[in-house]
Amino acid sequence: MDGMATDALTVAAEELYALVPEEFTAARNARAKAAKPGDPELAARIGGLRKPSPAAWIANAVAREHADGLDELVALGAELREAQAAGDGRELTRLAGERRKLVASLLQQAAALGDAADRSPSRAVLDEVEQTLIAGTIDAAAGEAVRTGRLVRSLQAVGLDAVDLDGAVAGEATAGRPTTARRAPASRAGTADDGAAGRDAAKASTDAAGERSAEQGAAERARAERDRAEADARDARDR
């Protein structure tokens, strides 16, 4: 399938997966029918799109309505992977705590979105949403998949292995928008600033000491030159 057709499929999927599940099938079939005269292959691909599972629908709603919070969670996942690669246990513990808070906040938003659509999620559905959000922090590709808002099914991470994304996303498996880097917590930023300030202060102190030493050296040389000049003058008088 060429790039233009893939883009068209993604656009169709974005509209379809924003609908409540009860409206999905009829809207999908209408889309496929409209596309068939001009692009039978695209029509077949649209017609093959599957209705999202209840957990996928909720996760997609979170991706659309709370993109900033989801972006922060995905960016946190990158930090977690870096800390894991570095073997930084203290940082892993801190970041894991942040992840728990972010996931809990997004789950509250997920439940509220379901309630607002008269589709209050069960505990089992919210558990799947939670697993999907966590999977998005384990694997970069899974994070992008969650951000698309076009999940067909929920995701699950197994240890630190790559998350299975086979058939998980309708259309392109990337969100098509960049994530923004997370700001460092105030305590960490302060530590970094303090360290930079300390280095600057140390450098300034070293520079000042060097300048003082140079000035002292120049003064000593000047005194030595005066002493030599006075000695020469005395010698001249004595002669």
47-97: per-residue pLDDT in tens?
Answer: 999 999 999 999 999 999 999 999 999 999 999 999 999 999 999 999 999
Gap between the Cα atoms of 154 and 203, Å rounded: 54
130-158: per-residue pLDDT in tens?
Answer: 999 999 999 999 999 999 999 999 999 99
Is the distance from CB of 168 to CB of 95 less than 8 angstroms?
Answer: no
Axis-axis angle for helices 89-116, 67-86 (nearest 10) = 160
Domain range summary for the chain, segments of one domain joined by +: 3-47, 54-182, 184-239
Is the distance from CB of 73 to CB of 30 less than 8 angstroms?
Answer: no
**Range name among 1-10, 158-167, 183-192 with the lowest pLDDT average:** 183-192
Say what the pLDDT of residue 160 is: 85
